[in-house]
Structure 1
């Protein structure tokens, strides 16, 4: 199989999956509130803000690292280089990890338990539907170099 023809995805699913899940969770919370509980609402929101900001910084760092290596992150084209530096030394999917943490941070900010559930479902869906496809693409494209990266770097954290 020609690795240049094997594209990771046809559409940018992960962002759509997370956004749809959070919107749906917002509607659910409006219909049947599921607060996260706790008596310290201020502390809950502050923790959510810190998590959301950390997630945003992780995503920016990962996207900048990809851009520095002339590798696409918004489109669905073939990977030009295998990036293993920056946040990619810590996790193979820092952008998706950032999305998940951002969703959890938003859940805490909104005191919305449905958003936590949506974040978990979106992360599982991304892992099953997206990451596996991307991993096949990268394996076909980079071979043994990617296999070595798989052995030394975790998929999530």
Structure 2
């Protein structure tokens, strides 16, 4: 199962990174990659999920293969590991589907002076951040495939990093750029799950 986890993680990296960036470049002449300055919320929001997925997708399986880290007793069972496979495969497929649904607006990170179209259709009609939901699903699956402390730490780091990105970087950016359109969208659409994490609609002045 650890070898399969490594393979699925490799597929996830390829599909969510170079493949999607390549499609974006062919369509727009831009890879869509935006990088934050060292130490900023955007930087931490990209570093934490990267390290988290590395822990869950490479170090945790490698530690299991070499016997350096043992699975947690309550999670070490074939039903749990098979569930992990299903979640990881679904998460990879959902990540790519949601990325494609963004079309030309797809970005990794944000650039303060840049404006892209607000996407609210397809999977974005159900939740505001389906790509992140799918990424968390993928890393959750990988963690269940090799349920040891390294994998769970990786999952925690991934979730924390995504929360930083969404709450401290992307939501303020989208509110600033799209104003009432995003505020209304966020008031009726959940952050990661339907109806959960909706933002309060702004009150009219006066």
- Fold-level match, TM-score > 0.5? yes
Give the length in aligned residue pairs.
148
Aligned partner of 1:155 in structure 2 is 191
Pairing 1:20–2:56 present: no
TM-score (norm 2): 0.60
Indicate conservation of the 8 Å contact 1:9/1:133, yes or no: no
Distance 1:47 1:121 in 2: 21
Which residue does 1:141 correspond to in 2?
177
Q: Against the structure 1 CA distance between its residues 100 and 65, is the aligned structure 2 distance closer, same or farther, given a 3 Å change threshold?
A: same
Structure 1 residue 134: deviation in Å? Answer: 0.8
2:76 touches 2:147 (CA, 8 Å); kept in 1?
A: no
Alpha-carbon distance, 1:66 to partner: 0.5
What is the CA RMSD across the aligned residues, in angstroms?
3.0
Q: Aligned-pair distance for 1:15?
A: 5.5
Does the CA-based 8 Å contact 2:75-2:147 persist in structure 1? no
CA shift for structure 1 position 20: 1.0
Equivalent position of 1:104 in the other structure: 140
Question: CA separation of 1:137/1:9 partners in 2, compared to 1, >3 Å: closer, same or farther?
Answer: farther
Unaligned runs of 5+ in 2: 1-33, 194-206
1:58 and 1:131, CA in 2 relative to 1: closer, same or farther beyond 3 A?
farther
Instruction: Give the match for residue 73 of structure 1.
Output: 107
1:87-108 CA-to-partner distances (Å, cap 9, x unmatched) read: 1122211111122111111111
The gaps in structure 1 that reach 5 residues or longer are 1-7
1:10 equivalenced with 2:36 (yes/no): yes
Q: Which has the higher contact order (CA 8 A, sep 6+)?
A: 1
Q: Tell me the CA shift for residue 130 of structure 1.
A: 4.5
Matches within 5 A, 1:32-51: 33-38=69-74, 41-51=77-87
